[in-house]
Every structure is written in C-alpha cells, then in structure tokens.
Amino acid sequence: MRIAAALVLCVLIAPLSAGQTDAVRPAPKASDGKPDLTGVYQASTRKGAWDAETPGDQPGVASPRSPGIVQATGAREPIPFTPEARARAQEVLNRRSIDDPAGYCLPLASPRITNVGLFPVQFVQTPTQVVILYEYLWLFRAIPIDGRPHPDDMEPSFMGDSVGRWDGNTLVVDVVGFKPGSWLLGGLVASDALHLTERYTRVDRDQLNYEVTIEDKKVLTKPFTQRSTLMLREGTHLREYSCAENNLDPKVYERMLKDPALFLRAPETPQ
C-alpha cells in the first residue's frame, strides 16, 4: 500500500513540478518596500530563456521577421506629426534611413534604445537611484529617485537628463534636455523640445511593462504614448558592444550618396 500510495503521489506532483516554470511569480521587493527592478531583461513578450526570435503582434507567437526592434504592444497610436514633421518623416522613408544616427554609432534616446530585442537591458536599483545599462551601443543612464529636480546647469545630450519618482508600484521617469535630431520611431526626428515621461511597472517577477508618453511641441501636435514589454532573462549578462569597431556603414553611405538615385525611394501616391 505504501508503494502504491507513493507512486500515486509522484504522479500527482510531477505535473505540478513541470508547470512551475510557467507559474506567475510575484515581483521582488526592495528593502524600502518598492518593487525591485534589478535584473537583465529583453524586449520581448515571451517568458523564459533568451528569445532569439522577434515577437509578433500576438503574445507568444513569433514574427517571420528577423530579430530587431520590438514594436509597441496593444493599440498603436498614430504619430501626431505637424505638417512639416510629416514631410521630414517622408523624407526619412524616401532616403531609406541612410542618415540614421545609429549608423554612425551615435547614442539613441529611449524608447528606441529600450526596445532593441537583440540586446539585453540591465536595471540596477538602489534606494537613491536606478541605473539602466544598455548593451546596444554600450550606454547607460543613472536616474536619481531621491526627489531631486533636473539640474539648473543641465547640458543638452543625446539621451536627455532623467529624474525618477515612485507612483505606487510604478517608476515614473521624467526626461528632458535633449539635443535636436534624435530619431525615435516612424520617421520621428525630435527637436530640443522633446519631453519623455516613462513608466516602468514590474507586474511580476518575469514581466516589466514599459510605457512612454512622447511630447515635442515643435514636431508633434499633441503627446502620444507607446507601450512595450520587457521580460526577465535570468542567467543572461551584458557583453561589451563596440559600435565603432568594424562599422562599415559610413563608408557604404558615402559611396551611395555619390549617386542618390541608386537608393532613393519615390514617395507613395495616396490612394
């Protein structure tokens, strides 16, 4: 009887053990009771090990495209361009992004740098600041969360100046002080009036939701919001990334620009 009972118990426990990896685990807490964002994440909708495939529009379903930038999840707001900015976005499309600052290894602002699925992002949290490390372009942001405002002597920069605060279980980051010319998404070339409001919410141990409201009175008619998902990748670490090493893009661009007709795209005719 004991042997039979033990076998029955093993049969019952085995499925539970096998399914534990799919169970929702609560978000860890820091010493101050706030959610602890510390960890290495990938822009993806899939839980588990490193995701080598780009997610599609449906969670858990891979896209046929090769890995790259993860698109925002949920309903996508159209970018509210001013007429001049829309014309600039069309020019970016027509020139096939040959002028993209990323091709010259220049730093990129969020949300663009956050959603590059090929490269992990690491959060390091302390009671006074959150540091975000980006493997892509080997960049970082140190975000104070101790109540201090933006500095008076703030200098314009590619990634802007960030200060954070907690709103319940969400880390809210205010980012201003950008250099003009940042490429964000969809042909949006931002001005020095760019203002980002980021919201990082660790909904459970594996999932970190990212939301950013983008404002720029010089190129947008109103603010708009983008959302994406980051997934914890335990056992993953950041590696050194030297964009300038063996970067062939500038020389290729120089050759192409000698005869723009080889790559220029004609704008689409409205239907």
Q: Where do the structural domains in the chain lie, given as residue ranges?
A: 39-250
Indicate the DSSP class of residue 1. Answer: -
Q: What's the mean pLDDT when you consider all of the chain?
A: 85
Percent of the chain scoring above 70 in pLDDT? 81
Q: Using an 8 Å Cβ cutoff, are 145 and 116 in contact?
A: no
Straight-line distance from the first to the last Cα atom of the chain, in angstroms, rounded to the nearest whole number: 77
Of 250 and 242, which is predicted with more confidence?
242
Report CA 171 to chain centroid distance, whole Å. 15
For residues 188 and 194, give the distance between their C-alpha atoms in angstroms, rounded to a whole number.
11
Interior CA angle at 236 toward 230 and 237, to 5°? 105
Mean pLDDT of 108-130: 95
Would you call 92 exposed, middle or buried from its count of C-beta atoms within 10 A (0-12, 13-18, 19+)? middle
Q: What is the pLDDT of residue 61?
A: 59
Q: Using an 8 Å Cβ cutoff, are 143 and 166 in contact?
A: no
Q: What is the pLDDT of residue 75?
A: 53
Of 120 and 65, which is predicted with more confidence?
120
